[in-house]
Amino acid sequence: MPNNQILMIYTGGTIGMQKDLQTGSLVPFDFSQLMEHIPELQLMDKKIDTVSFDQPIDSSNVRPEHWLMLADIIEKNYDNYDGFVVLHGSDTMAYTASALSFMLENLSKPVILTGSQLPIGDLRTDAKENIITSVQIAGSYDNNQPLVPEVGIYFEFKLLRGNRTIKASSEHFNAFDSPNYLPLAQSGVDLKFFKERILPVPDGIFNVHKKLEENVVVVKIHPAITETYLSHIINLPGLKAIILETYGSGNAPTDDWFISLLKKAVDQKSIHIINITQCQKGSIAPEKYETGRKLMSIGAYNGKDLTTEAALTKMMYLLGKNLSKKAIKSAFERALRGEMT
């Protein structure tokens, strides 16, 4: 039964900064004093505990090891809290949210990532509303069931599915977008949840997957791509998978050298090739044009409408499970956490 306890995890980022009045520079503040910065949290019927990374980091420095740290904190505290709020820099938030969505199997409690474009101590900060509503979402239950039993990103009045999200703006408060999936909740005068869009509470036992394969690269197809460049990529020591960001509906060059190199990667090196679109919105349809059918013929996986962040982290997660190539392809091409249509 929910007891209105929320754990807030601070990793770093703009949201945890305040201005030094003497120097004017931004410095981190002590998150144990959170209530002093956001006294409105005391009006909520929630008990909020805070924990911080020993060394808060700029999100540009986030690595898979930090995803593991977050997953470990959530795992160790899973039975003691109703929900989790992760304060995170915005630059790599979509990667972290995507990774956590796959790592946290049978998640039945809200894990809400949020941040801000302006520091919490700034007069015009967006941090306060983002934190307050994230806490409210993390503690939202109905008949002892969480309203959002999944990993989400809350920013500027919208709750988005974490593994459907991209950072769309570096200068607007509305920094994130979910191009191929509608918001899970909308904040206005009321906080409205769209239950038909939210994943159901899973039946299985909560389990954290902590092995991720990092030998995965993202290659964006462009008109000036060369045989030498692609050959170097394919011959990287230990490479396990290539996420190909292709044109439009999954199209790529049909030059003999291009197809030959990829076929060699698949047949001789057992490298997984994943086809996703570099367009922000839409899905690939590789059977539509010859250029897409060529990739299908060499065994490229259909990434459908996956974001780059979700495709990368999903492949890292699947490769970490030591599955057969056939099993990886089967799992990759179907939705595991609501990440694809």
Q: Which residue has the tokens 């609501």?
A: 338
Cα-based torsion angle of the residue sequence 60, 65, 68, 74 in order, rounded to the nearest 10 degrees: -50
Helices 290-297, 256-269: crossing angle, 10 deg rounding: 20
Cα-based torsion angle of the residue sequence 196, 194, 303, 226 in order, rounded to the nearest 10 degrees: 170
Contact 318, 336 (CB under 8 A): no
Q: Of 11, 14, 125, 165, which one is the catalytic site residue?
A: 14
Is 14 known to be catalytic?
yes
Number of Cβ within 10 Å of residue 53's Cβ equals 14
User: Burial of 318 by CB count in 10 Å (0-12 exposed, 13-18 middle, 19+ buried)?
Assistant: buried
CA pair distance 83, 79, nearest whole angstrom? 10
Contact 166, 94 (CB under 8 A): yes
- 180 φ/ψ angles, rounded to the nearest 5 degrees: -115, 15
Number of Cβ within 10 Å of residue 298's Cβ equals 16
Instruction: Specify the 3-state DSSP secondary structure of 42.
Output: helix
What is the DSSP code string of 1-14? ----EEEEEE--SG
Structure tokens at 23: 């120097």
Q: Which residues are identified as catalytic?
A: 14
